[in-house]
Amino acid sequence: MADFPQPTHTRPRARRGVPLGVVIAGALLMSCAVLPWAGVEARSELIGGAVAGDVRGVDAASGVYTLVAGLAALACGFAGVLGRPRLAALAAVPGVAAVLLLVSFMTGDRGLRDRVSVDLGDLLSIEPVIRFGWFAALASAVLVILLAVAALVRRG
């Protein structure tokens, strides 16, 4: 049998796992922007019930900007999957912006700081609450940052 010549240089296989992770984290960040971020909850032990009003992320300007940051991270991740890992590392910029937007949502003029908390014992208790969507968005934004840094370090 004849030996076929093998190529002398082979292109190293591109590592697409981390940029794909950036894509997934960016998509999660986008989806968390439509979840409830905060709310006001009124409870009464006298009648044995509670009423809550929720604020979704996209109901505020910072939620809309967080959605756009998630879209930008998604685009950077796709660029990394297509063979440009340095562009996947750029997803750290919208990730940091999303973290800042999430913090400003809680500390801004219309955040939890300005909401009133009333406690009248068993009669009535009104308090602001942070909903799961805000925590999920914060976790997604931090994940985008970590994966973007990993894409920069592992760009090989």
Q: So where are the chain's domains?
A: 17-38+57-113+132-153
What averages of pLDDT result for each successive group of 10 residues across the chain (156 residues)? 59 67 95 91 79 86 94 94 86 96 82 60 79 95 95 72
pLDDT of residue 113: 45
Give the predicted TM-score (pTM) of the model.
0.79
CA 59 and chain centroid, separation: 16
Considering only CA atoms, which of 69, 75, 71, 80 is closest in space to residue 19?
Answer: 80
Given this model, what pLDDT does residue 107 score? 84
Task: Dump the DSSP string for 91-151.
Answer: THHHHHHHHHHHHHHHHSTTSGGGS--EE-TTS-EEEEEE-HHHHHHHHHHHHHHHHHHHH
Look at residue 144 in the predicted model and tell me its pLDDT: 96
pLDDT of residue 6: 63
